[in-house]
Structure 1
Amino acid sequence: MKKYFIQKEPFVVPTTDGKLIEEHHGIPTTANKDISIAHMIAPPKWSEPFQTPEFEEYTYIISGKKQFIIENEIVVLEAGQSIKIEADTRVQYSNPFDEPCEYLAICKPAFDFNKVHREE
């Protein structure tokens, strides 16, 4: 039995907002509930509703910029920067800029739609 797994076919999460989400490890791909790792590209002018997830989220920006509103504070990350947002923190993710933002997102425990608590 191999002691490693190379992910060659990430799960592409269906979206309606133009955002690319390729989950490499997590619940839908590897049934891993402890951690999820996703490659994402947020198109220009993209945003999603505020949410208060039950998991930590780490984000590493590969290119472009991404805006976070974390409990009413605006934070902008650029390529080469990363952030950790604690579980049970109200946050909104967006890309209000004119270029796409490519990034990696790691959630611990794994991202779970039932535990993200997006606002309507």
Structure 2
Amino acid sequence: MKKYFIQSAPFVVPTTDGKLIEEHHGLTTQNRDVSIAHMVAPPGWSEPFQTPEFDEYTYIIKGKKQFIIEGETIVLEAGQSIKIEKNTRIQYSNPFEEPCEYLAICLPAFSMDSVHREE
């Protein structure tokens, strides 16, 4: 039995907001410990505020991404990364003119039940 798994066909999460989400590892691969996703947020994209039950690490590959973290606005650019601790109120968006490509790593794995989005 091999002690590794090469992901060559990530799960593409269906979205209605134009955002590309390719989950390479996470609940879709039966991994509850961590999720790793490649994402592209189109210009003008945003999500509602949320208070996740997981730590989230984001690494920006191209473009810029805006974070509102407990009332503080932060903009990351390509080559920068951030760790946001669990149980932190946050909103993610791309109010800029170019798409934002990034990697997101969640510990434990992302799930809709543990993200607690405000509607």
Aligned partner of 1:45: which letter? Answer: G
**Residue 39 (structure 2) aligns with:** 40
Aligned partner of 1:99: which letter? Answer: E
Aligned partner of 1:96: which letter? Answer: P
Q: State the Cα distance separating 1:98 from its structure 2 match.
A: 0.1
**Residue 12 (structure 2) aligns with:** 12
Runs ≥4 residues deviating over 6 A = none
User: In the TM superposition, what whole-angstrom CA distance separates every residue of 1:55-90 from its partner, at most 9, and x where no partner exists?
Assistant: 000000000000000000000000000000000000
**Residue 83 (structure 2) aligns with:** 84
Normalized against structure 1, the TM-score is what?
A: 0.98
Compute the RMSD of aligned alpha carbons. Answer: 0.4
Percent of pairs identical after alignment?
A: 81
Aligned partner of 1:40: which letter? Answer: M
Aligned partner of 1:89: which letter? Answer: T
**Residue 27 (structure 1) aligns with:** 27
Alignment length (residue pairs): 119
**Residue 61 (structure 1) aligns with:** 60
